[in-house]
């Protein structure tokens, strides 16, 4: 039995410095569908969870982004963070034919440390899986190497928020077991895209799946762990 069953809009769970939410923020664009998110286990070492969904209509609109995230104290500037180690193991099962979805880390930063956690000044996404012809915001800025892997970097804007999305190169396939220090992605952005690390506070550090249309499908995250290590603690 799951330790938490989240079936309502924005239903929320937290424990062991982690959180999970049934984030159905775009469900009103669907003509039909539903989604439930379930936390199966949690410890100080990470959380395991899953989400099952079916959505129809408005194929280019995101219906939901259920996620698990690491909790941390606000007011951590990116420049003051030494490391953001994380790992995730996941899979998708069910009716995947015609499914449109992605699997991604989603990390917001803002100059205001108390900025709402639904956005920020900057957004860093690390796509680990891509189903259907869904695309990130913006356009490709070329191939880059970060954290020991090659990525196709996309850059664009979601309103006033600048979005950097790192995708596996075309034909590379999904990354279903991923381990890295996310701070390396910010270091790359500092060096190559003038990301203002000394001004930007970390707002959220989370990973989940953006669901557009398809299903019934189940995303299972057998492990998600993350940490935020302050530079002065080294």
Three-state SS across 110-136? ECCCCCCCCCCCEEEEEEEEEECCCCC
**How big is the CA angle at 9 (ends 4 and 10), to the nearest 5 degrees?**
65
- Backbone Cα Rg of the chain: 17
Over range 36-54, report the average pLDDT. 97
SS3 74: coil
What pLDDT shows up at residue 86?
Answer: 98
| Backbone phi and psi for residue 121, each to the nearest 5 degrees, phi listed first | -80, -35
Among candidate residues 219, 176, 232, 182, the one with its CA nearest the CA of residue 65 = 219
Over range 195-204, report the average pLDDT. 98
- Band (pLDDT 50/70/90 cuts) for residue 172 is confident
- Band (pLDDT 50/70/90 cuts) for residue 170 is confident
Strand partners, 106: 125, 206
Contact by Cβ (8 Å): 74, 116? no
Cα(209)–Cα(90) distance, rounded to whole angstroms?
10
Please give the model's pTM, rounded to 2 decimal places: 0.96
Count of beta carbons in the 10 Å neighbourhood of residue 210: 24
Question: Is pLDDT above 60 for 57?
Answer: yes
For residue 142, with 0-12 CB atoms within 10 Å meaning exposed, 13-18 middle and 19 or more buried, which class applies?
exposed
Question: Is pLDDT above 60 for 174?
Answer: yes
Q: What percent of the chain has pLDDT over 70?
A: 99
Count of beta carbons in the 10 Å neighbourhood of residue 196: 15
Whether residue 216 has a cis bond before it, omega within 30° of 0:
yes
Mean pLDDT of the chain: 96
Contact residues for 81 (Cβ-Cβ < 8 A; gap 6+): 183, 186, 202, 228, 229, 230, 231
Over range 27-34, report the average pLDDT. 97
- Catalytic residue positions? 123, 210
Contact by Cβ (8 Å): 25, 64? yes
What pLDDT shows up at residue 234?
Answer: 45
Over range 116-127, report the average pLDDT. 96
Residue ranges and CATH numbers for the domains of the chain are 4-227 (2.60.120.180)
* Structure-token match 């490709």, residue found: 140
| DSSP 8-state secondary structure symbol assigned to residue 138 | S
What pLDDT shows up at residue 47?
Answer: 98
pLDDT in tens, 126-159: 999 999 999 999 999 999 999 999 999 999 999 9
Question: Is pLDDT above 70 for 233?
Answer: no
């Amino acid at each position: 039995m799951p330790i938490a069953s989240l079936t309502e809009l924005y239903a929320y769970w937290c424990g062991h410095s982690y959180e999970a939410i049934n984030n159905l923020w775009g469900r009103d664009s669907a003509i039909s569908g539903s989604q439930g998110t379930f936390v199966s286990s949690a410890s100080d070492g990470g959380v395991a969870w899953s989400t099952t969904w079916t959505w129809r209509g408005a194929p280019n609109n995101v219906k939901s982004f259920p996620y698990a995230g690491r909790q941390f104290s606000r007011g951590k500037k990116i420049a003051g963070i030494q490391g953001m180690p994380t790992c995730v193991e996941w899979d998708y099962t069910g009716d995947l034919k015609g499914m449109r979805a992605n699997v991604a880390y989603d990390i917001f930063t803002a100059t205001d440390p108390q900025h709402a956690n639904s956005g920020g000044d900057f957004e860093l996404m690390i796509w680990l899986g891509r189903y259907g012809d869904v695309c990130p915001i913006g356009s490709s800025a070329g191939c880059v190497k970060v954290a020991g892997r090659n990525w196709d970097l996309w850059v664009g804007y979601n309103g006033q928020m600048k979005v950097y999305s790192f995708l596996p190169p075309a034909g590379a396939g999904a990354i279903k077991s991923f381990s890295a220090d996310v701070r390396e992605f910010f270091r790359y952005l500092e060096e190559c895209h003038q990301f203002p690390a000394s001004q930007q506070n970390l707002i959220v550090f989370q990973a989940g799946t953006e669901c557009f249309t398809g299903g019934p499908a189940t995303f299972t995250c057998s492990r998600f762990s993350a940490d935020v290590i302050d530079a002065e603690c080294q």
